[in-house]
Chains A and B, each alone.
Chain A
């Protein structure tokens, strides 16, 4: 066990965990931020997607000892002062979710996409979202919601 400092959604935490613990489990088990989900643990599903300094990353593949000083944003940290982002709002209005388990990861990934490409094409969306699996296969509406938010 060692001590690590990390900045999550603007708050600095000190955690005592084994150094190989993936960020995913530090968020979920140590900090109680359970909006970031476990789906595969090997970087294949995208359910655990967070932002490290604004870049979408899979938190199951980032050991806490390798995190360094990167600022972490999770799905809980997207809405500021209770105001949903345009993307979150589009997700609600278009009623994208079914079980919803993948959707936090989908939104984190799509948020990073829109930050890099404010008006993505279908091909951009296919490429950026290709690692985020939805077992309920809500892809039709995920695509619509990204376009809707981009137009907002």
Chain B
């Protein structure tokens, strides 16, 4: 129905400066381009590119004469639900029925602006521009109908893709108005709906690709196929920073199905390795696993997790501890969390073709622009000669914000000029060459006075060198409590670290919220009452220095009242405070991230033999207006379980400068059997613009469980993962 191709090439005549542009389609449809700001200023986006957030066109609405509405999604779909949520916003403002809207995934193109699916930013960043686009289209359709009927536009209303003039009982479907509407001037200002009149937003809408997924038709990066395609594996040194010393390429070519083998080295941004080209993925993998390569391991080989722990302790000791006021009860505690891998279930991969001076890539990426930049720099091609097609992603979690796999595929394709090649990482390589969630240590000192008031709060935070994983303003209550202090140190290291779902919060909120629970018990107070007291002491205005996107969240200052509201809601829904026998317990934790406020309460039991069962999780969330209730709930449930699974079972250990874990047998993700049977999610009703939702419920889930374990057993968990911890009690 649409005149817009699946992967549109925006016309050169498109005026990028105007906010909206309307034009008639060849078939008589109405095309509206909107220019929008990728507004969810995020850690990942900020760090990877320093260019300011700007306006650029990246969404196109087309309304066909049959009334069908089509939208291009600029952001990749990795399970966060953007491909459904974004057109819902449009359909709401357009006043069309949901079943008339279709959406397609955009390729990387500057015309679409920032196409990053990171930092929980897809929905908050697109909300206002999409409303504006929908409302503008609707206003023009109304104007076209009013003109047709010679009545004032103010007398017309809309519903279900139809303009209605109630006084004369006339109606015109949108499809009949597209030609006339396209000829009208674009209104300079339109008023979107009052959110309280929303009918579609806030309801449960099933994902637009559900049927494709359940029938095996949804195509991910790893499923791409090009005519004449060959299959590649790329073998790198397990030690970070190592390179190929020597390899017998003749031996490599003797493996079954291997067509070619070569060493890639000296390409900017690319880690040296051996490329193996075969007639199937399996044959490429088989040769890659059995090929003998001599590595030049380099200096990185001396690094180990064990040594990092010693260095962390030495740094903390050297820094010395703060003093707690005379007469106050003093608490010292060290918390540690390990490196984590992303382990997206779809391993990293990219399909590429180099032909006629142009690299074309089919890539599961969260940041196509960074992949393009890597390839242009590494291979010395202009950006116009590097085309990125964004595929569906089998999970992101921050992993696919970096794109070294794109450069590897492009470099291999460059050598194989004219032949398309699919590079797939073996799972083992995916574990060994990740950008890991950084490890971290917290050396806390706290003091409570005789009245149970916190009179000292200090943290020395240590992690390995790297930009990512720092404390977000310290997290609550460090971000708001006068006199509290966070110092930090970094251990010199060359372990590649990067963004992992809820960066900066995923481990630190566990540590801080666990220590707050310790303080509550030291003060002899109920943890809920204790946290509410801390919140009551927060000044209404954002405190000075609680800056950044920090514990104060990326949405600006920390609103204690919102946190109080979610905490009370969670407590009420979970039945907080009901007396429980030994071996059963409840724990709570809170988090403010990506502009959202989350409180989680966990109900657990621990058998005398020490076996943990999580019975129920209750989350209360203020994430502004909920666009799609179904996916919002799914995101919150999944991110809580993600946080708990990681804290319970997962760690990446560095030994001899490389990763000890290689596959899911030694990196055991949470499974069905350990998932709590009840995961309740309650959203605070809100008409405020939506915040991010893919991340903020992850950080507080693990501390809620650990605090519940303490309530049940009196055992405090200070090291992750806790699967090996002795939880026996009698």
Residues of chain A at the chain B interface (Cβ within 8 Å): 1, 17-18, 20-22, 25, 28-30, 32-42, 44-45, 47, 74-76, 78-79, 84, 88, 91-93, 95, 97-104, 107, 122, 125-127, 129-143
Contacting residues, chain B, for A135 (C-beta < 8 A): 343-345, 395, 397, 642, 669
Closest 7 CB pairs between A and B? A35-B216, A98-B79, A101-B394, A99-B79, A137-B641, A75-B216, A100-B213
Which of A30, A84, A88, A100 is packed against the most chain B CB atoms within 10 Å? A100
| A1, B672: Cβ atoms closer than 8 Å | no
| A98, B345: Cβ atoms closer than 8 Å | no
| A143, B672: Cβ atoms closer than 8 Å | yes
In the bound complex, what is the Cα–Cα distance between A28 and B679 (angstroms)?
A: 36
Q: Which chain B residue has the least Cβ–Cβ distance from A100?
A: B213
| A98, B80: Cβ atoms closer than 8 Å | yes
| B635, A133: Cβ atoms closer than 8 Å | no
In the bound complex, what is the Cα–Cα distance between A49 and B634 (angstroms)?
A: 24
Residue B637 is within 8 A (CB to CB) of chain A in the complex: yes
Contacting residues, chain B, for A30 (C-beta < 8 A): 280
CB distance from B21 to the nearest CB of A (A): 34
Contacting residues, chain B, for A21 (C-beta < 8 A): 280, 282-283
| A37, B394: Cβ atoms closer than 8 Å | yes
- Which among B45-53, B202-210, B440-448, B524-532 touches the partner chain? B202-210
Q: Given A95-B206, A97-B79, verify A104-B672 contact (CB < 8 Å).
A: no
Contacting residues, chain A, for B638 (C-beta < 8 A): 98, 136-138
Contacting residues, chain A, for B213 (C-beta < 8 A): 91, 97, 100, 103-104
| B634, A76: Cβ atoms closer than 8 Å | no
Total A-B pairs, Cβ < 8 A: 194
CB distance from A146 to the nearest CB of B (A): 10
Contacting residues, chain A, for B280 (C-beta < 8 A): 17, 21, 25, 29-30
Residue B222 is within 8 A (CB to CB) of chain A in the complex: yes
Residue B281 is within 8 A (CB to CB) of chain A in the complex: yes
Residue B719 is within 8 A (CB to CB) of chain A in the complex: no
CB distance from A20 to the nearest CB of B (A): 7
CB distance from A18 to the nearest CB of B (A): 5
Contacting residues, chain B, for A132 (C-beta < 8 A): 671-672
Which of B215, B223, B344 is packed against the most chain A CB atoms within 10 Å? B215
| B214, A101: Cβ atoms closer than 8 Å | no
Contacting residues, chain B, for A138 (C-beta < 8 A): 634, 637-638
Q: Could you list 12 A-B pairs, sorted by A, with CB under 8 Å?
A: A20-B286, A38-B424, A42-B664, A79-B215, A95-B204, A95-B210, A95-B631, A97-B214, A98-B81, A134-B345, A139-B672, A142-B672
Q: Given A84-B211, A135-B669, verify A99-B345 contact (CB < 8 Å).
A: yes
| A99, B346: Cβ atoms closer than 8 Å | yes
Residues of chain B at the chain A interface (Cβ within 8 Å): 78-81, 204, 206-207, 209-211, 213-220, 222-223, 225, 231, 256-257, 280-283, 285-286, 343-347, 392-397, 424, 426-427, 630-631, 634-635, 637-639, 641-642, 645, 663-665, 669-673, 675, 677, 679
Contacting residues, chain B, for A127 (C-beta < 8 A): 673
Contacting residues, chain A, for B218 (C-beta < 8 A): 100
Contacting residues, chain A, for B80 (C-beta < 8 A): 98
CB distance from B469 to the nearest CB of A (A): 20
| B214, A91: Cβ atoms closer than 8 Å | yes
Q: Given A47-B345, A137-B642, verify A29-B281 contact (CB < 8 Å).
A: yes
In the bound complex, what is the Cα–Cα distance between A136 and B664 (angstroms)?
A: 15
Q: Which chain B residue has the least Cβ–Cβ distance from A128?
A: B672
| B395, A101: Cβ atoms closer than 8 Å | yes
CB distance from A121 to the nearest CB of B (A): 11
Contacting residues, chain A, for B223 (C-beta < 8 A): 28, 34
| A41, B426: Cβ atoms closer than 8 Å | yes
Q: Which chain A residue has the least Cβ–Cβ distance from B280?
A: A29
| A38, B672: Cβ atoms closer than 8 Å | no
Q: Which chain A residue has the least Cβ–Cβ distance from B211?
A: A92
Contacting residues, chain B, for A100 (C-beta < 8 A): 79, 209, 213, 218, 392, 394
Q: Which chain B residue has the least Cβ–Cβ distance from A82?
A: B215
| B281, A25: Cβ atoms closer than 8 Å | yes
Q: Given A42-B663, A44-B663, verify A99-B257 contact (CB < 8 Å).
A: no
In the bound complex, what is the Cα–Cα distance between A45 and B677 (angstroms)?
A: 21
Q: Given A34-B216, A95-B630, A98-B634, verify A137-B670 contact (CB < 8 Å).
A: yes
In the bound complex, what is the Cα–Cα distance between A38 and B281 (angstroms)?
A: 10
| A104, B216: Cβ atoms closer than 8 Å | yes
| A41, B214: Cβ atoms closer than 8 Å | no
| B215, A98: Cβ atoms closer than 8 Å | no
Which of B78, B79, B231, B665 contacts A29, CB < 8 Å?
B231
Which of A25, A84, A125, A136 contacts B282, CB < 8 Å?
A25
| B214, A133: Cβ atoms closer than 8 Å | no
Contacting residues, chain A, for B347 (C-beta < 8 A): 38-39
Contacting residues, chain A, for B211 (C-beta < 8 A): 84, 92
| B210, A22: Cβ atoms closer than 8 Å | no
Q: Given A98-B635, A100-B213, A103-B214, verify A40-B424 contact (CB < 8 Å).
A: no
In the bound complex, what is the Cα–Cα distance between A101 and B679 (angstroms)?
A: 22
Q: Given A92-B210, A133-B664, verify A18-B283 contact (CB < 8 Å).
A: yes
In the bound complex, what is the Cα–Cα distance between A126 and B670 (angstroms)?
A: 12
Which of B426, B639, B671 is packed against the most chain A CB atoms within 10 Å? B671
In the bound complex, what is the Cα–Cα distance between A127 and B602 (angstroms)?
A: 24
Contacting residues, chain A, for B346 (C-beta < 8 A): 37, 39, 99, 101
Other contacts beyond A44-B663, A100-B218: 8, CB < 8 A? A25-B280, A37-B346, A101-B394, A104-B214, A125-B672, A126-B673, A133-B671, A140-B637
Q: Which chain A residue has the least Cβ–Cβ distance from B231?
A: A29
Which of B215, B222, B427, B664 contacts A88, CB < 8 Å?
B215
In the bound complex, what is the Cα–Cα distance between A76 and B639 (angstroms)?
A: 29
| B282, A37: Cβ atoms closer than 8 Å | no
Contacting residues, chain B, for A84 (C-beta < 8 A): 211, 214-215
| B675, A137: Cβ atoms closer than 8 Å | yes
Q: Given A34-B223, A130-B671, verify A102-B345 contact (CB < 8 Å).
A: yes
Contacting residues, chain A, for B630 (C-beta < 8 A): 95
| A97, B210: Cβ atoms closer than 8 Å | yes
Contacting residues, chain B, for A18 (C-beta < 8 A): 256-257, 282-283, 286
Which of A33, A34, A39, A130 contacts B345, CB < 8 Å?
A39
In the bound complex, what is the Cα–Cα distance between A143 and B631 (angstroms)?
A: 17
Contacting residues, chain A, for B282 (C-beta < 8 A): 17-18, 21-22, 25, 29
In the bound complex, what is the Cα–Cα distance between A103 and B634 (angstroms)?
A: 14
| A32, B669: Cβ atoms closer than 8 Å | no
In the bound complex, what is the Cα–Cα distance between A79 and B392 (angstroms)?
A: 22
